[in-house]
Amino acid sequence: MHVVVVGAGEVGTSIAANLAADHNVVVIDIDPDRAEQLKYELDVMTLAGDGASLATLEDAEVGAADMFIASTDDDRTNLVACGTAKTVGDPFTIARTKSVEYLRTWELTESAFGVDFMVCSDLLSAESIVDVVGLPAAVDVDPFAGGLVQMAEFEIDADSPVAGQTVAEADRFESLTFAGLFRDGEIILPRGDTAIETGDRAVVIGSPESVQAFANDLAPEETPDEADEIVIIGGSEIGYQTARLLEKRGLSPRLIEQDHDRARWLAEELPGTLVMEHDATDTDFLAREHVDESDFVVATLDSDERNLLASVLAKRLGTDRVVAVVDNGEYVTLFEEIGIDVAVNPRQVTAEEIIRFTYGGVAENIAVLENDQAEVLELQLTEDSELVGCSIEEAAAGIDTNLVFGAITRDRELITPRGDTELAAGDHIVVFVESSFVEALASMA
């Protein structure tokens, strides 16, 4: 595969390094020194130039490229680069953006700006924070269909209230599907009367709210509920998105923002969040607000230094768990060494998402479970797909494999699959399937 990567920053370099072994990679960077340097670091070709200019892209032979990844720090450059690439050839374009606005626009057609797949670093970071905070009991969590659907894998402890129940008893939620159980290295496709045993690993697919509610049933001790205190320090875009996603899961966080106008804006946008206007690095204030008694502190300030300070203060006051956003990848280990429980690096999260996507190949989105025994795939059904017009029951019967339809999204709305739900062209389906059947299934979509 011929891959062009624009931008040789942390994200671009990380992606290029990952793809270099199996593919022909061309990296474009505007800084000639950086381009020159990368030539020796990685087994890739490098070009110095503006990734959004036609001449540079023609030099990089974008016309013959299979994949084009725009991963600079600047949203607009990435969008223009993808748009330009589409005029030169027809590579699959991936754009990295910071702004959630562009993502929302893109989601409306999934081809806006000439972008085939958009990775929003702020939203992704917020999602990973929310997974850490909201689903601490989960072994693995992945978003599908742009965050409308969530897949989570849980290990069933002996003291879990769910242990010993049947699937029908445990799955009390309207928009949740019990996709699969792993027991002693075997996949069990659950039926209503399948009993859940201690030590099983359960895979559920559904709306983020229902997954959150299920986690609450499964591990009430660990999973935060309304009574738990979650404090977000810093009303940056990531802080805002984190609060918004937590609200969507029925939690009511507190958010501390120093800037008067920003605090007001946040309070208007987040009806379920208690917004406070104060300097979050003021120890007296943190003590007065009993941050020490909160279950989670999330530091999402705009600079790494301030995040470090806020996290250390929270830890010193005695907060249980502290999650911090770390912009500079080199600091991640440093943060974790000082005792911050999880350090989320937006660039790393973005690079991982893009790499995960390039691996998928056949699918829109993919999550690999239990040493590749099974996978959860997201596929978009095309007009001429064999599955269009089939009901779920017919589709499942027609495919000779172990497979569960976890969720369907149509026009950006979640549909919980039932036996008689009919599949339509354009639907995104999220399917739990044994790894050996992935290719067969993908060919049908």
Partner 1 sequence: MRWRVDLRASVSLLGTIIKYLAATMVIPLAVAVVYMEDVWVFVVSIAIAVAIGVGLERLDPEPDLGPREALVLVSISWFGVAVVGTIPYLLAGYGTQSTVGLQLPLGDGAAVILGALGSSIVNALFESMSGFTTTGATVLGEISFDRHSHALLMWRQLTQWLGGMGIIVLMIAILPELAVNGAQLMSSEAPGPELQKLTPKIAETARALWLIYLGFTVLLVILLYTLSVVGLAPEMDLYNAVAHGFTTLPTGGFSPQADSIAAFGAVVQWVIIPFMIVAGVNFALFWHLLRGEVDVMLKNAEFRTYAGAIAVITAVLSVLLFRGGAPPLELGGTTEGVTENALRQAAFQIGSLLNSTGYATADFAQWDGHTQFFLLFAMFIGGSAGSTGGGVKVIRWLVVFRAIRRELYTTARPDVVRPVRLGGQVVDEDAVRGIVVFTLLYFILLIFGAVFIMIDSARIGVELSALEAVSASLATIGNIGPGFGKLGPFGSYLFFPDSSKLLMVVLMWLGRLEIVPVLAVLVAGVEDVG
Query: Does residue 19 sit in helix, strand or coil?
Result: helix
Report the site for partner 1 in 318-357 (rule: CB under 8 A): none
264 binds partner 1 (CB under 8 A): yes
Stretch that binds partner 1, among 159-167, 260-268, 396-404, 428-436 (CB under 8 A): 260-268
The whole-angstrom separation of Cα 179 and Cα 186 is 14
Using the minimum distance from each CB to partner 1, give the nearer residue, 81 or 231.
Answer: 231
Using the minimum distance from each CB to partner 1, give the nearer residue, 172 or 288.
Answer: 288
Structure tokens at 428: 């995104």
Q: Least distance (Å) from partner 1 to the CB of residue 260? A: 8
Structure tokens at 189: 């496709």
415 binds partner 1 (CB under 8 A): no
289 binds partner 1 (CB under 8 A): yes
278 binds partner 1 (CB under 8 A): yes
Using the minimum distance from each CB to partner 1, give the nearer residue, 285 or 437.
Answer: 285
Write down the H helix ranges in 208-303: 208-218, 237-248, 260-269, 283-288
Cβ neighbours, 10 Å, residue 184 = 8
Using the minimum distance from each CB to partner 1, give the nearer residue, 266 or 396.
Answer: 266
CA atoms within 13 A on the CB side of 197: 6
Amino acid type, 376: V
Stretch (H or E) spanning 4: strand 2-6
25 binds partner 1 (CB under 8 A): no
Q: Least distance (Å) from partner 1 to the CB of residue 280? A: 10
Among 45, 163, 267, 424, binds partner 1 (CB under 8 A): 267
Using the minimum distance from each CB to partner 1, give the nearer residue, 183 or 248.
Answer: 248
Stretch (H or E) spanning 424: none
Instruction: State how beta strands 117-120 and 138-144 pair.
Output: unpaired
Q: Least distance (Å) from partner 1 to the CB of residue 257? A: 8
274 binds partner 1 (CB under 8 A): yes
User: Taking a C-beta distance cutoff of 8 angstroms, is the pair 254, 273 a contact?
Assistant: yes
Q: Least distance (Å) from partner 1 to the CB of residue 146? A: 24
Structure tokens at 227: 């009574």
Using the minimum distance from each CB to partner 1, give the nearer residue, 221 or 284.
Answer: 284
CA atoms within 13 A on the CB side of 431: 30
User: Taking a C-beta distance cutoff of 8 angstroms, is the pair 288, 254 a contact?
Assistant: no
Q: Least distance (Å) from partner 1 to the CB of residue 208? A: 21
Which stretches of the chain bind partner 1, using CB under 8 A?
Answer: 256-257, 263-264, 266-268, 271, 274-278, 285, 289
